[in-house]
Amino acid sequence: MDQNPPRSTSVTVADVARRAGVSKATAARVLGGYGTVSDRVREAVTAAARALDYRPNELARSMTTGRSGTIGVVVGDIENPFFSLAVRGITDVARQAGFTVILINSGEDVTAEKAAIRTLLAKRVDGLIVSPAKESELDHLQEVARSGRPLALLDRGSEALAVDTVIADDRNAAEAVTRRLLALGHRRIAYITACDTSDHLFRTPTDINTGSVRRRIEGFLDICREAGLAEMERWVHVGASSPEHTRRIATDMLRASGRPTAIIASDSVIGLEVFKASCAIGLAIPSDLSLVSFHDADWTSVTSPPVTVVRQPVYRLGERAAQLLVERLNGEGMEARRVVLQTEIVERASVAEAPA
């Protein structure tokens, strides 16, 4: 490597063409992967590019081929194992299809999400996969869709945005969990989510901007209503957006008289903090408190007791989103598709009959 020209970024298509003894247009066709040339010419150009350590200028490449070979991904929180696993699903499919995945974390902040998308568009990614932070602010995504840049939504979608969308069957999962807890005699069932409202209070599901979570809460409330439980809205707690916030919410809740006998955690980061808070207060799971967490995170099977979870098809969510995007990048024109993947309840030992 040390014998190579030190600043290979300055090697141009013209340099490669000269070394290969072909015209610049021919070299550009080979290096850009378009048009037709003979095998002999292709080999000569490829060998010259290798010898000179030619590195394509991405913008130039994208102007000739319309491709930069990259997919931009914007997720809410890469520290949440849900998203890191979904990103692996995306990356595995993308790599197979010859694309590099470029990731930006929005921190579930819609301003950061807009900036991330601007950056990725400016970097000329070929397509985007986004897990929108807020379903009420989709103008920037509408704009991407209108510009014709392929876009797929991950885990969260909106009927208002006609683009490829892959979500999990969150509503059904929440309904099944709620039915199970009701059957075991629970009536004081709390739902805790990281989503927040302007005044940190929950009144109605339409307050919740993240579709996956809104659908879960709708399912939870509907099943409670069917069972004759009114005003369960007051058992929905928002704003558990960090371990510290969750600990405070869970601790306050579990110390109150009339504390919940069951808690549904909207993700595994919340589930873990509820588990810790319950231990710290001295409440036994499941005899004092039943716990169900969304996401089958790695730790949920090694606690005592192990935690009952909603296993979402997380890897598959990423994989399907990337597949839809790659199909579209390959020019397969079609209507926007909406894929809903099934969830599964994994019964472990954190759920029991409500204490008398």
The footprint of its own copies (CB under 8 A) covers 1-2, 4, 6-9, 55-59, 61, 68-70, 78-79, 81, 84-85, 87-88, 91, 95, 100-105, 107, 112, 115-116, 118-119, 121-124, 139-140, 142-143, 146-148, 243, 269, 272, 275-276, 279, 297-299, 301-304
For its own copies, the closer of residues 142 and 251 by Cβ is: 142
Minimum CB separation from its own copies for residue 183, in Å? 27
**CB-nearer residue toward its own copies: 48 or 354:** 48
Work out how close the CB of 257 gets to its own copies at its nearest, in angstroms, rounded to a whole number. 27
Q: Which is nearer to its own copies, 301 or 342 (CB)?
A: 301
> 24: buried, middle or exposed (CB in 10 Å: 19+, 13-18, 0-12)?
middle
CA angle 179, 181, 182 (to 5 degrees): 65
Q: Which candidate, 345, 342, 347, 346, places its Cα nearest to that of 316?
A: 342
Please give the structure tokens belonging to residue 30. Answer: 């080979």
Q: Please tell me the distance from the alpha carbon of residue 87 to that of residue 84, in angstroms, as a whole number.
A: 5
Q: How far apart are CB 199 and its own copies at their closest, in Å?
A: 26
d(CA 170, CA 312): 8
Cα separation values, 221 from 171, 176, 229, Å: 10, 12, 9
Residue among 155 and 169 whose Cβ is closer to its own copies:
155
Question: Least distance in Å: CB of 281 to its own copies?
Answer: 14
184 within 8 A of 352, measured Cβ to Cβ: yes
Q: Output 235 or 275, the one with its CB closest to its own copies.
A: 275
Tokens 């935690």, residue located: 307
Residues 47/79, Cβ–Cβ less than 8 Å: no
With residue 65 as reference, give the H or E element that holds it: helix 58-65
- Name which of 92 and 233 has its Cβ closer to its own copies: 92
51 SS3 class: helix
Q: How far is the CB of 54 from its own copies (least distance, A)?
A: 11
- How far apart are CB 226 and its own copies at their closest, in Å? 34
